[in-house]
Structure 1
Amino acid sequence: MRADRKDIFKSRFQEHYSRLCRIAYGYVSDQDDAEDIVQELFISVWNKRLDGMPEKEFAAYMTTSVRNSCVSFLRKRKEDTVSIDDHPASASCMPDETPEEGKTLQDILDSALDTLPPRCKDVFLLAKLQGLKYREIAEKLEVSEKTVENQMTKAIKLLRAYVAAHGALLVTVAAIILSIIINCE
């Protein structure tokens, strides 16, 4: 009976592994992380003796489990991301600048945000600095959620363009803005 279980597990692993890795990769965008997630899922299935399920139920269970595992992985990775608030921007100068120029990271970040139209800037700040959801922003600004979504898209495009135009000077700001943009997509 033990040999039969191993054979069934091996067969199911070979049948589902590639498909589950593709699903995981769609969420995490990293092949190694995707493979780790799927392998850990198969280990969990073995340890919990869930490999004896009928094939149809097993396939559905694995698909749902890989999705849930990816969401948990992404949540954990987001918690590990360093916040802008963790670094006092006003106390530091850009590496390429001399102190006489007096531009702090906060000054450069403010000038990047000043390139946004007023409504766009309001939406961006409410979403990223206050952490409001689109629905909450829509209620607060008395606009539709679709308008909030459009304004966020516009803000992201404008900030990307700003970073591209000021590349060498704004390496640090680019990292901050891109981390904000990546976390909202």
Structure 2
Amino acid sequence: MSTPDPALREQVSRIYQDHHRWLQGWLRPRVACRHLAADLMQDVFVRVLSAPDASDRLGAVREPRGYLATIARRLMIDYFRRARLERAWLQALAEQPEAVEISEQERLILLQTLCELDAMLAGLGPRIRRAFLLSQLDGMTYRLIGEELGVSEVTVTRYIAKAFHHCTLYSLQADS
């Protein structure tokens, strides 16, 4: 912000001296915090000083309190909008699952399990494997899987039954 000319500084100084207590009192019950009211009140006067053609605008103001209240109202709206956005962002962050650090042993167990699953699913045909994964991982209905694969719902039912049968046999063989 550039340094305002002396006439503008005098105009703003006079309005500040005459109305800053009133403006802070007007803001305090609306924001329910005297510190926030003080901050917003100062922001109002910064806006007044930094407005384009500030001297002309202030010269045209007939009711300074109305002018100041309008600027303050806009600043309050911006503040509450930002605060609501910040709360929503913090809530979204809080709802995110925490990153879990796993031990090397747990990592090895997960990797072995994934390898076993891959070997088990490799024994299925590609269409049966795709139907099974769409059902189990994506939670898709048999009708939607059928549309995705271009087959009937009955065929999807057969695919899933074959996949479960294959997984059961694979599991029994692995246990023995």
- Report if TM-score (shorter chain) is over 0.5: no
TM range (shorter): 0.3 to 0.5
Query: TM-score, normalised to structure 1's length?
Result: 0.41
TM-score (ref. length: structure 2) = 0.43
